[in-house]
Amino acid sequence: MDFDLTREQKDIARAAKEFAEGEFPELARECDREERHPMELVRKAAELGFIGVNLPEAYGGSGYGYLEKCLVCEAFWRVDPGLGSVLVSATFGADMILLFGTEVQKKAWLEPLTCGEAVMGSAITEPDAGSDVVSTRTEARAEEDAYIVNGSKMFITNGTVGSYFVVLCLTDPDNPSRHRRHSVILVERERPGFEANKLRHKLGIRASDTAELVFKNVRVPRDHLIGEQGQGFYQFMNFFNLTRIHVGAEGVGIAQGALDRAIRHLKTRHQFGHPLAVFQANQFKVAEMATRIHAARNMVFEAAFRADQGQPDHTLTAMAKWYAGETCTYAAQEALQIHGGYGYFAEYDIERFYRDAKIIEIYEGTKEIEKIIIARSML
């Protein structure tokens, strides 16, 4: 067993960290305050090869694996989760096309992402169906040459800035199996009847765009079906087995970023004539944060390693995402406590990390859903 990253992997992580440290700090505060998605940052990151890290070179990607993508994710989220989200989610849905799309679809919809011309999204959640994915009702009625899409999707990342979306649609409502009634259909934003309404006042990752999507008789060509008709539920489960690994890496990034800031504060602030770092209560917090982060990172790395071997392990991925989510909410809370009253103010950034961390326990499967997946596999 080799626990060392290769020289190239270390270089990738270092390059991502340097990019984030150079570009993020001021922009992060501004985009959080104004709830602004900075497309200019996506273009810059694309020029340097940070968008589409795991997409093949044939489609303009960097041709690396899920482990390398995790290294970039962690580095970005460690500096700022909101901007990290903007960059990592620019290709949210690309893995669906990569896994199940045709060659023509890959050429058409992966390349614009990797050169920073487009961002995309994945639309599964609906107002009345979140964790219960098979209850989604947005329908795509098949006509001779088109699907007619009607319905609405909720909380969709990149909703008002995305150029196209892979949408989970009900296509076979009469199939006796509830799991074989849906299909994945790609819908472009410029199609008549498509509407996106930005959702404001999020708790965290405010630079990331979130919207409600509405489809009113949206006509989409039949060749926009990704994968097989009736297999949409299973396709999305496979997709999440990969993308949840990156969500785990996002959590590790937030936790590490919180620890970095806590250590800086402990070394520079003095009370009772000493730096805060000399007090055992604070030292224990650092020790616990560092240990949990190490454990979470190892789980994420192993999940990514298995995916890169072509054998994604859905139980391990669920463990990694759940544990990374718990670790980052814990670390952000402890780091804020270490900052005392200063932690309560935006100027010290830790306040933002505290707000941002919670999303890891909610999106792409809540922590309860992850535990259900783990328990099912154990029992």
> Among 51, 369, 373, 374, which residue sits at the site for ligand FAD (rule: CB under 6 A)?
369
> Among 60, 130, 248, 312, which residue sits at the site for ligand FAD (rule: CB under 6 A)?
130
- Nearer to ligand FAD by Cβ, of 210 and 256: the residue is 210
CA 230 to each of CA 132, 255, 353: distance values in angstroms, whole numbers, following the listed order: 17, 39, 40
**For residues 332 and 261, what is the distance between their CA atoms, to the nearest angstrom?**
10
- Nearer to ligand FAD by Cβ, of 8 and 128: the residue is 128
- Nearer to ligand FAD by Cβ, of 5 and 214: the residue is 214
Q: Name beta bridge partners: 275.
A: 270
**For residues 120 and 176, what is the distance between their CA atoms, to the nearest angstrom?**
32
Which of the residues are catalytic?
A: 364
> Among 156, 226, 299, 319, which residue sits at the site for ligand FAD (rule: CB under 6 A)?
156
Tell me 159's DSSP state: T
Q: Does 91 bind ligand FAD (CB under 6 A)?
A: no
> Among 239, 257, 363, 373, which residue sits at the site for ligand FAD (rule: CB under 6 A)?
363
> Among 62, 122, 235, 317, which residue sits at the site for ligand FAD (rule: CB under 6 A)?
122
CA 271 to chain centre: 39
> Among 9, 298, 315, 366, which residue sits at the site for ligand FAD (rule: CB under 6 A)?
366
**For residues 217 and 191, what is the distance between their CA atoms, to the nearest angstrom?**
10
Nearest in space to 365 (alpha carbons), one of 260, 243, 214: 243
Instruction: Quote the least distance from Cβ 81 to ligand FAD, whole Å.
Output: 11
Query: By CB under 6 A, which span of 45-53, 107-115, 124-132, 349-357 interacts with ligand FAD?
Result: 124-132
Q: Are 161 and 187 in contact, with CB atoms under 8 Å apart?
A: no
**For residues 350 and 255, what is the distance between their CA atoms, to the nearest angstrom?**
11
Query: By CB under 6 A, which span of 123-131, 228-236, 250-258, 303-311 interacts with ligand FAD?
Result: 123-131
Backbone φ and ψ of 184, nearest 5°: -105, 125
The residues that touch ligand FAD, with contacts defined as CB under 6 A, are 121-125, 130-131, 155-157, 202, 210, 359, 362-364, 366, 368-369, 372
